[in-house]
Amino acid sequence: MKKYEHQNSRRSFLKKSIMGTALVSSSPLLLAGTGSERFRINPRNYDPVNFSANDQVNLALIGSGIQGIYDTTAALEVPGVKLVAVCDLYKGRLERATELWGEELFLTRDYREILERKDVDAVIIATPDHWHKRISIEALKSGKAVYCEKPMVQNFEEGHELIKAQQESGRVLQVGSQGMSSLGNEKAKQLYEEGAIGQIVMLDMYNDRYSSEGAWQYPIPPDANPDTVDFDTFLGGAPKVPFDLVRFFRWRNYRDYGTGVAGDLFVHAFSTLNFILSSNGPNRAQATGGLRYWKDGRDVPDVTITLYDYPETKTHAAFNAAFRVNFIAGNGGGGGFRLVGTEGDMEVDSDRVRLVRSKLDMKPGGYSLISHTEENQKKIRAAYDEEFPGTRSTDLNIGETVWEAPRDYKGGHYDHFYNFFQGVRGVKKITEDATFGLRAAGAALLANESYYQGKPVNWDPEAMRLIP
């Protein structure tokens, strides 16, 4: 098996497992038995913080919808952060902001008023996708640090504009794919680099949903009307259409404002995958799918399958990735993210990693030996036993190991905001910056490109551009 940069061999992995130093602290590891072991992931050590009112980071939220509220709630758990302003185009969300965070907030339906404020240090941009680039660039130019929800951009070229704006401004930009900074991701990256699964051969990602909410049919508030909703501003650069509350509150269902299941769900998986493998992404995608059930006016599929090719690099072998989403999964729903290698596989979640290790069976069994004489069967078995010593049980069943975050773990969402604010303070480097964000978003958007063109598409993961 070829050895890749930052990745140790199987022998090295097992040796460090025996020593108990590579994967867990002061705990025995499963070596070559048939059982199952569980371990705690080492808790994260957060740098001590003690900020006065003059040292705090003043935060503003632009887009106070579902994700904006979850983002802000996580951000405010980080010490030294204060919310000072909220912007949204629906009056009811501004009222909800005061219910959640107090009457003293500055409220507006014009994001530019927030960017003009001297008391705002950083902004969360949790608007529909078609507004991400414009507001992010204007925020950077106004001197604000930016936390932009995934996907960073709605199309490929926008990503290069945003990368340039970040570099020119010198300000911090982090993309909001919150599982990126989790203990689960960090453990999976460590295990992969230790050679835990051998050489990667495929990635299997799926997300099954079985509810109207999971299919983005979000409730429309009874007080929504032309007076409480600024629909014209919502449209922005999208095609002009008559006032439509469904488009406003269920914007993910429309190509004009969102990026479909790829931009909503694939991009999380690409962020994690590229992080674990130290990869720049795939170079080819082929998508299929359709609108099978939720025929509510949306113009994006509710069932989609995309196959990706990853090229060989210094950090990983060439491999294939399968991404699938089903919004009408009659089994009740579920999801998974599994890295499959030549010697094992890993199921990765933000607070848990499950590793199952095996050894390739090189000895013939009864299936192929049935056509040989009894005498030849004995000779064949003896020859294989000499070439591949060891019993079948030790060769095949290395076992299962599960790593879980501590019960008091604050979670990947908190960690991602903690890292963001550490970056704002100049303490740490941002991991999911604009370049990383385009590589994750670009890979996801290839699914849409292939689906609507009805053919495979090619991508340069280094230059981050489509290949004609």
Kindly state whether residues 84 and 166 are assigned to the same domain. Answer: yes
Residue with tokens 């949790």: 126
- CB contact at 8 A, 436 and 274: yes
Q: What is the DSSP letter of 389?
A: -
More confident residue, 22 or 432: 432
Same domain for 235 and 360? yes
Q: Which pLDDT does position 425 carry in this prediction?
A: 92
pLDDT of residue 46: 87
| Confidence at residue 394, expressed as pLDDT on a 0 to 100 scale | 47
d(CA 316, CA 237): 40
- Going by pLDDT thresholds of 50, 70 and 90, the confidence category of residue 389 is confident
Confidence category of residue 19, pLDDT binned at 50, 70, 90: very low
Whether residue 200 is found in the same domain as residue 81: no
pLDDT class of 166 with cuts at 50, 70, 90: very high
Residues 458 and 340 in one domain: yes
Mean pLDDT of 456-464: 98
Q: Which range has the worst mean pLDDT, 12-26, 228-242, 300-314, 362-376?
A: 12-26
> Are 315 and 7 contacting, i.e. CB atoms less than 8 angstroms apart?
yes
State both tokens at 126: 């949790």
Q: Looking at residue 7, what is its pLDDT?
A: 66
Going by pLDDT thresholds of 50, 70 and 90, the confidence category of residue 393 is very low
Residue 90 sits in a domain whose CATH number is 3.40.50.720
Question: Which contacts of 52-59 are long-range, i.e. CB under 8 A and separated by 24 or more positions?
Answer: 55/80, 56/80, 56/81, 56/82, 57/81, 57/82, 57/121, 57/122, 57/421, 57/424, 57/425, 58/82, 58/84, 58/119, 58/120, 58/121, 58/122, 59/83, 59/84, 59/120, 59/121, 59/122, 59/123, 59/124
Give a yes or no: residue 421 inside a domain: no
Residue 52 in any domain: the answer is: no
Percentage of residues in the chain having pLDDT higher than 90: 82
With 90 as the cut, is the pLDDT of residue 412 above it? yes
Identify the domain boundary among 129, 155, 180.
180
SS3 of residue 412 by DSSP = helix
Last residue of one domain, picked from the residues 129, 154, 180 = 180
pLDDT over 70 at 466, yes or no: yes
Element (H, E) at 384: helix 374-387
Same domain, 333 and 452: yes
CA 214 to chain centre: 18
* Mean pLDDT calculated for residue range 131-150: 98
Per-chain mean pLDDT for the chain: 91
Sequence-ordered list of residues with C-beta below 8 angstroms from that of 343, at least 6 positions apart, any chain: 10, 195, 196, 197, 198, 199, 357, 358, 359, 360
Domain shared by 207 and 352, yes or no: yes
Mean pLDDT, to the nearest integer, of 243-248?
98
**Residue 420 is assigned to a structural domain of this protein:** no
What are the tens digits of pLDDT across the range 313-369?
Answer: 999 999 999 999 999 999 999 999 999 999 999 999 999 999 999 877 888 988 999
Report how far apart, in Å, the C-alpha atoms of 417 and of each of 77, 154, 180, 188, 453 are.
Answer: 9, 23, 11, 20, 37
pTM equals 0.91
- For 202-234, the pLDDT digits (tens) are 999 999 999 999 999 999 999 999 999 999 999
What's the length of the chain? 468
C-alpha to C-alpha distance for 386 and 363, rounded to whole angstroms: 10
Establish if 317 belongs to a structural domain: yes
Domain shared by 176 and 133, yes or no: yes
pLDDT: which is higher, 7 or 111: 111
- What is the structure's pLDDT at 10? 56
* pLDDT digits 0-9 by tens, 30-69: 333 446 789 999 988 887 767 766 789 999 999 999 999 9
Q: Does one domain contain both 172 and 215?
A: no
Structural domains in the chain (count): 2
pLDDT at residue 391 is higher than 70: no
Backbone angles phi, psi at 287, to 5 degrees: -120, 150
Report whether pLDDT(392) > 50. no
Q: Which of 180, 199, 228 delimits the end of a domain?
A: 180
pLDDT tens digits, 254-288? 999 999 999 999 999 999 999 999 999 999 999 99
| Same domain (yes/no): 159, 234 | no
Residues 314 and 361 in one domain: yes
Write the pLDDT tens digit of every residue in 170-207. Answer: 999 999 998 899 999 999 999 999 999 999 999 999 99
Determine contact, residues 281/459, Cβ cutoff 8 Å.
yes
- Co-location of 171 and 250 in the same domain: no
Residue 15 makes CB contacts below 8 A (sequence gap 6+) with: none
Q: The domain containing residue 169 runs over which residues?
A: 57-180
| Per-residue confidence (pLDDT) for residue 37, from 0 to 100 | 87
